[in-house]
Chains A and B, each alone.
Chain A
Amino acid sequence: MAHMEDILRALLRRALSEQGGEARALTGITIESGRRRLEPRLCAEFSDGYRAWHSLRPSVCFAFCERHGVWDIAALRGLLLQETRRIHAQMLRELRAERETQRRPWFAALVRRLRNSFSRERRYGRHLPAMEAAFRRHFLEESSEAWERGLQLLEANLSPEQRQQYDASGYFDVTGGTSGKRYRIRQGSSMNIEQLDKKGRRVCTLCFMPAGRLVTGDVMLAQKVALEVFEREALKVANKFY
């Protein structure tokens, strides 16, 4: 696992290090079979057509499959994509934090690009293009100060466990106040809530948000509070995607 993560990090580091790399959203990951002299390769594909490759030893792949109990290509690709997205989100957060400390004038522009990347990254197969367009139109134009305030309010109201999880993975789990069910709130403003089963697997995706074109931090906090405090009402208005 650690070795596979190293490979994924190397791939993403390469993609992020180039100009405009932060705005690039990961769209897919494929394993290319080796041809005679060449080793098999892992290929990461991005929204702007950029691709990055890294050689992949069969033993590393086997160890990864064994660890996760995945033995078919489709499931392996899905798992790799999920893992790569997690690492990508984490690296983007690290990059953002690093640049924030430097307090450079172009920080606001970087935040905008990161948000763009996050929003694309959370895209699902059923995600409607119109929804994304609406999201961009309404949210990406918000001021960076508002965005920061929203994020500060969110972080101030996360429990220590949630905050730790959010920092490490870009999402946090909440427990439904009425049902006791687990939900995972990911970075984003729409299609960003997953209902989980007892084993932590996704049951469905929920989509609800407060009215009024709020900033991302506010939306995520409203979703957390709603699920914890008035879960039934939230579920009544939420659209569910299985």
Chain B
Amino acid sequence: MGVQIVMDRSGDTRHEFDTADVKAVALAEQRFRELTGKGFRAVALGKDGSPGKLMRDFDPTVEQSLFIPQLQGG
């Protein structure tokens, strides 16, 4: 199982998908493209809070990916 965690005003929205299900993976990839297209940064979360890895392309093997909205200066 993979999960895409999208940060939003409700805290976060989680989209789980079965990595063995072709349709679900395609949907997850589509979501990845839509979000990164909007400026979200996708990061493959590390284990136990260790630094993650920036995802330039969709990778269905990543267990947990976090989508962070575009950064702005405060």
On A, residues with C-beta under 8 Å from B are 131, 142-143, 145-150, 152-153, 156-160, 162-163, 177, 190-191, 207-215, 217-218, 221-222, 225-226, 228-230, 233-234, 237-239
Structural contact, A157 and B49, CB atoms closer than 8 A = yes
On B, residues with C-beta under 8 Å from A are 5, 7-12, 39, 41, 43, 45, 48-54, 66, 68-74
Closest CB in chain A relative to B21 CB, distance in Å: 25
Closest CB in chain A relative to B55 CB, distance in Å: 10
Bound complex: CA A145 to CA B50 (Å): 26
Closest CB in chain A relative to B6 CB, distance in Å: 10
Chain B residues contacting A213 (CB-CB under 8 Å) are 9
Bound complex: CA A131 to CA B50 (Å): 32
Number of A-B contacts (CB under 8 A): 101
Q: Which residue of B lies closest to A157 (CB)?
A: B49
Structural contact, B11 and A230, CB atoms closer than 8 A = no
Structural contact, A131 and B74, CB atoms closer than 8 A = yes
Structural contact, B50 and A230, CB atoms closer than 8 A = no
Closest CB in chain A relative to B20 CB, distance in Å: 25
Q: List 10 A-B contacts (CB under 8 A).
A: A146-B9, A146-B10, A157-B45, A163-B49, A209-B74, A214-B7, A218-B12, A225-B52, A226-B41, A226-B68
Q: Which residue of A lies closest to B11 (CB)?
A: A149
Structural contact, A190 and B74, CB atoms closer than 8 A = yes
Structural contact, A210 and B11, CB atoms closer than 8 A = no
17 new A-B contacts at CB < 8 Å, known A163-B49, A214-B9, A225-B52 = A145-B10, A146-B9, A153-B11, A156-B49, A190-B74, A207-B73, A208-B71, A210-B68, A210-B71, A211-B70, A212-B7, A217-B11, A221-B66, A225-B68, A228-B51, A229-B54, A238-B73
Structural contact, B9 and A160, CB atoms closer than 8 A = no
Structural contact, B49 and A162, CB atoms closer than 8 A = yes
Chain A residues contacting B10 (CB-CB under 8 Å) are 143, 145-146, 149
Structural contact, A210 and B74, CB atoms closer than 8 A = no
Bound complex: CA A128 to CA B69 (Å): 24
Structural contact, B74 and A211, CB atoms closer than 8 A = no
Q: Which residue of A lies closest to B50 (CB)?
A: A159
